[in-house]
Amino acid sequence: MTILHIDSSINGENSASRTLSRSIIDQLKTAEWGEQVVTRDLVSEPLPHLTLDAFADTSVLDEFLAADTVVIGAPMYNFSLPTQLKAWIDRIVIAGKTFHYTANGPEGLAGGKRVIIALARGGFYDANSPAAALEHLETYLRGVFNFIGIEPEFVRADGLAISPDQRDASIKQALGETVRLAA
Ligand SMILES: Cc1cc2nc3c(=O)[nH]c(=O)nc-3n(C[C@H](O)[C@H](O)[C@H](O)COP(=O)(O)O)c2cc1C
């Protein structure tokens, strides 16, 4: 089994999404046997913005297609995803490879993979909260993976900017979720 580990936080060792994605990887490594982990850090080795020329290079797509499980650390920046992660998405959502259009509309071609996403957000974005309409991270990632045929699983650490106590409690709760996910 091949696990692809993607991180996109600019916060280095202080990053909640990196802490959570690492925990998920650790859990998967103890739960499974014979895994190979491929790591792609989109901050230390950023992908350039998409250009037409970039379509000729399929290495990022091939790496994604080769993975059985994909674990993604995804912080919320300005209500959405980091541009580093968007540049990666731009290379895996490819017509004829991960989706195609049929007479009945678009169809995902990347099904059969497990995708686990560790979200870290400064505020709260529950359905009934005042900020719910500004949530474009989880909704975007769910939409884009659904589009290519995958139902992603989420671990969420929210309210991280509210107070140090809230941050500690949210990360602790989310770390507990990572154990449940990998079980
Ligand atoms: C550039 C930047 C933009 C941010 N924008 C938002 C935002 O729009 N909404 C929010 O709830 N938190 C926002 N935050 C807070 C982060 O989501 C929060 O600090 C989270 O812990 C980041 O994940 P990380 O710890 O993995 O880096 C922002 C943080 C940064 C650095």
Ligand 1 neighbours, Cβ below 6 Å, are 9, 11, 15-18, 75-79, 120-123, 160-161
**In angstroms, rounded to a whole number, what is the distance separating the alpha carbons of residues 56 and 162?**
44
Instruction: Give the start-to-end residue ranges of the domains of the chain.
Output: 2-182
SS3 105: strand
Structure tokens of 12?
Answer: 């280095």
Residue 30's pLDDT band (boundaries 50, 70, 90)?
confident
Report the atom number in ligand 1 closest to the C-alpha of 167: 21
- Cα 153 off chain centre by: 9
CATH among 3.30.360.10, 3.40.50.280, 2.60.120.10, 3.40.50.360 for 2-182? 3.40.50.360
- Per-residue pLDDT reduced to its tens digit, 164-179: 999 999 999 999 999 9
Q: What is the per-residue pLDDT for 100?
A: 98
| Of 155, 181, 158, residue with least CA distance to 73 | 155
Element (H, E) at 113: none
State which amino acid sits at residue 25: I
